[in-house]
Structure 1
Amino acid sequence: MTKQNVVASEVTSDINMAIAVAVSKSSMFASAVQKPPAVPYITISRKKLLQNLEISGGARVTSWVDSMRASSPTHHKSTPSLSDDQSSWMLHHPSALDVFEEITNASKGKQIVMFLDYDGTLSPIVEDPDRAFMSDAMRATVRKLARYFPTAIVSGRCRDKVYSFVQLAELYYAGSHGMDIKGPSKGSKYKKSIQPVLCQPASEFLPMIDEVYKALLEKTESTPGAKVENNKFCLSVHFRCVEEKKWSELVQQVKSVLKDYPKLRLTQGRKVLEIRPTIKWDKGKALEFLLESLGYANCTDVFPVYIGDDRTDEDAFKVLRERGQGFGILVSKIPKETNASYSLQEPTEVMDFLRRLVEWKRLSLRRQFRMRRRLEGMKVSLPN
């Protein structure tokens, strides 16, 4: 993973996670007035910020462009050395489809909880992010998945936007890289508390995010193909449709805006530059919050599974490794440094894996039901 251009301070206080009661239950997107959880900041001095955003020398811009180039799958061509690297990488990150039985054996007797990224995981990466639609087959698969396991969508997208793509009210949604979390509008049979889940730890940044969004729209207007997306608690600058020779110019434009906002940080995802608040909150924190909301914070019988394709998903993969529970699955056709345990190559393989998981659970429940009926029959036949 590429290191973020921020300097994290030592934080001694624990993150105070909160479950708030939504004011209105009438809509999936009903807003609630709440005090956000107390979340520590990633501190950075203005002097250091200006050093990090320095563009006159060009060295940092060049570094960013190199990183942008590396994140673009179109630059990974098939070569003998890459093939050898992939074979070696697959030994350490085998296909989740090939070791499916190993995975299900590890989860026996535990509650599986599913966490799914959206772009590149449930839907293919497309040139226009507004047209990243999931297929009807994938939607049907995720709907069945949620019948058997608590299921959450964890995305960098605005929560409203990702919900408009998925259109399943029975799921948990964590938008803006986990900074906007809401539970199912239909209610959940898995959740132990009756209160709806709502978590928005970066609410105070909304005016600033909106201000920077407008500035970026104006600043990047001269770069053909650049698209700025407002994800409510964070911003995305997509460069997948920008000519490579314009990438350096785009980085300069973004950094020239951010130099006046030390409370925002710039990171990079898959063909996208991300602007986020400098709070210590990410997809890993969102995963922990959701597990706590479901009542599995300190349980040994929970088995979280996180599937994602982006650098931002690494925060969740890392949390699972540190917890020693469940595992992460990286969606990628090329070798990448990752904390995930297994791999899948593309969304179609993700759908195959989810379908197999649903079928495995369905058959397991059927066997349990038959066994219970058989035992009940034996009790009835026994003499008093």
Structure 2
Amino acid sequence: MGFQISHSNKQKVKPFFGRENDDSDGTINGSVKGRELSPPDVAGYDSWLVKHPSALNSFDSIMKEAKGKKVVVFLDYDGTLSPIVEDPDKAFMSAEMRAAVREVAKHFPTSIISGRSRDKVKQFVQLNNVYYAGSHGMDIMAPPRAVKSCDKKGNEGAFQPAKLFLPAIQEISVELVDKIKDIQGARIEDNRFCISVHYRQVPPEDHEILKEKVKSLVENRAEFRLTQGKMVLEVRPSIEWNKGDALNYMLDTLGFSNAKDVLPLYIGDDRTDEDAFKVIAARREGFPIIVSSTPKDTIAWYSLRDPPEVLAFLLRLAKWRKSEMPFFK
């Protein structure tokens, strides 16, 4: 059997050119309950933590900066709220994580920004009080209660900056199916505004063959660009839009684009999240937090090891908000 077509999978993308790295599957180990929150024994991790200290160990200092300000929470999904697993259709978030996100969203505007399609990530999260931004922010929907407040700005319904690309995306998807049909283990994922070709189950000797086939289909199409991530190639529309743009759009929709008392907090584990980290760094207000159990290049200021530590951080954030309510406007 050759390729498979899927409508959900992990989206991990970085520029296509350059050497491949970060190919570990990111599977988490252990739980925060009943143990010390400490990094694994990985060479270089301790020195990396000096530059990107634990957001849990630094929680009090982070929240000191947030006192009296409006915190807006942005979260990646895969590798952040859920583990990365071999079968992407089973990347479920735990009941405890869902409850924590629900509680955080009661107190702060909260958005899930994912490479998955918006509908798929919503199926996983199953919450109605958060914003969903699928396809790396190319498909944004506010929670029902927020739509009325968006009407004044003309942003009701879904915001889809790549909508005009849909016919071309479907066309290239059909061509990709034919192009890679003979490669064992290749898997195509339809994320509506982008197409992913996963090769985790492709024999290693066929990796370069697959990459060349996909690259040849895209290189003469100016309307598309090719990016690469953890065992995945992704065909995306050639528009200037990424998770950082999505973050800015949602801040603007909330009326916070020019506010001086707003602190965006973004937690993510992937190179696509770096675009959002850059936006926060440029604002000089907020907290970009990378999720990683190994050293990696990032402009994030703080770190968390894995989804269990993300859970612990979100629980502390919700608890802190309750204790600080008198200070909020």
What is the TM-score when the length of structure 1 is the normalising length? Answer: 0.74
Aligned residue in 2 for 1:183:
142
Q: Matches of 2:110 and 2:185 in 1, distance apart?
A: 35
Aligned residue in 2 for 1:227:
187
TM-superposed CA distance for 1:2, in Å, is 9.3
The C-alpha deviation readout for 1:296-348, integer Å capped at 9, x for no partner, is 00011000001111111110001110111102111111111111111111111
1:175-254 alignment, distance < 5 Å: 175-187=134-146, 196=156, 198-254=158-214
Aligned residue in 2 for 1:348:
308
Task: Tell me the secondary structure at the aligned position of residue 157 of structure 1.
Answer: coil
Aligned residue in 1 for 2:96:
137
Q: Matches of 2:82 and 2:184 in 1, distance apart?
A: 25
Would the alpha carbon gap of residues 288 and 74 (structure 1) be closer, same or farther in structure 2, given more than 3 Å must change?
Answer: closer
1:333-344 alignment, distance < 5 Å: 333-344=293-304
Identity percentage over the alignment? Answer: 50
Q: Matches of 1:161 and 1:212 in 2, distance apart?
A: 21
Aligned residue in 2 for 1:314:
274
Indicate conservation of the 8 Å contact 1:150/1:190, yes or no: no
What is the TM-score when the length of structure 2 is the normalising length? Answer: 0.85
Calculate the aligned-residue CA RMSD, in Å. Answer: 2.4
The reply to whether residue 165 of structure 1 matches residue 124 of structure 2 is yes
Q: Matches of 2:225 and 2:242 in 1, distance apart?
A: 13
Aligned residue in 1 for 2:289:
329
Aligned residue in 2 for 1:126:
85
Which residue identity is paired with 2:145? K
Q: Matches of 1:120 and 1:4 in 2, distance apart?
A: 19
TM-superposed CA distance for 1:85, in Å, is 2.2
Q: Matches of 2:309 and 2:182 in 1, distance apart?
A: 39
Aligned residue in 1 for 2:222:
262
Q: Matches of 2:55 and 2:74 in 1, distance apart?
A: 15
Task: Tell me the secondary structure at the aligned position of residue 222 of structure 1.
Answer: coil
The reply to whether residue 71 of structure 1 matches residue 30 of structure 2 is no
Q: Matches of 1:135 and 1:260 in 2, distance apart?
A: 43
TM-superposed CA distance for 1:126, in Å, is 1.1
TM-superposed CA distance for 1:186, in Å, is 3.4
Indicate conservation of the 8 Å contact 2:14/2:229, yes or no: no
TM-superposed CA distance for 1:188, in Å, is 7.2
Which residue identity is paired with 1:154? I
The structure with the largest alpha-carbon Rg is 1
Indicate conservation of the 8 Å contact 1:270/1:310, yes or no: no
Aligned to 2:236, which of 276, 290, 296? 276
The C-alpha deviation readout for 1:194-250, integer Å capped at 9, x for no partner, is 863532111110011111112222222222222111111111112222232221111
Indicate conservation of the 8 Å contact 2:68/2:327, yes or no: no
Q: Which runs of 5+ in 1 are unaligned?
A: 6-59, 76-81, 370-384
The C-alpha deviation readout for 1:269-311, integer Å capped at 9, x for no partner, is 2332121111100000000000000000001100000111111
Aligned residue in 1 for 2:15:
4
Would the alpha carbon gap of residues 3 and 268 (structure 1) be closer, same or farther in structure 2, given more than 3 Å must change?
Answer: closer
Q: Which runs of 5+ in 2 are unaligned?
A: 1-11, 27-40
How many residues are aligned here?
302
Indicate conservation of the 8 Å contact 1:192/1:295, yes or no: no
Aligned residue in 1 for 2:70:
111
Q: Matches of 2:213 and 2:122 in 1, distance apart?
A: 31
TM-superposed CA distance for 1:84, in Å, is 4.7
1:37-116 alignment, distance < 5 Å: 63=18, 66-67=19-20, 70-73=21-24, 83-116=42-75
Aligned residue in 1 for 2:262:
302
Would the alpha carbon gap of residues 234 and 299 (structure 1) be closer, same or farther in structure 2, given more than 3 Å must change?
Answer: same
The C-alpha deviation readout for 1:140-174, integer Å capped at 9, x for no partner, is 11111100100000011111111111111111111
The C-alpha deviation readout for 1:54-103, integer Å capped at 9, x for no partner, is xxxxxx7xx5xx41xx121269xxxxxx9452221110001111100011
TM-superposed CA distance for 1:261, in Å, is 2.0
Aligned residue in 2 for 1:362:
322
The reply to whether residue 288 of structure 1 matches residue 239 of structure 2 is no
Indicate conservation of the 8 Å contact 2:290/2:304, yes or no: yes
Q: Matches of 1:124 and 1:155 in 2, distance apart?
A: 14
Task: Tell me the secondary structure at the aligned position of residue 228 of structure 1.
Answer: strand
Indicate conservation of the 8 Å contact 2:25/2:85, yes or no: no
Q: Matches of 2:327 and 2:68 in 1, distance apart?
A: 12
Q: Matches of 1:2 and 1:157 in 2, distance apart?
A: 12
Indicate conservation of the 8 Å contact 2:13/2:232, yes or no: no
Structure that is richer in helix per residue: 1
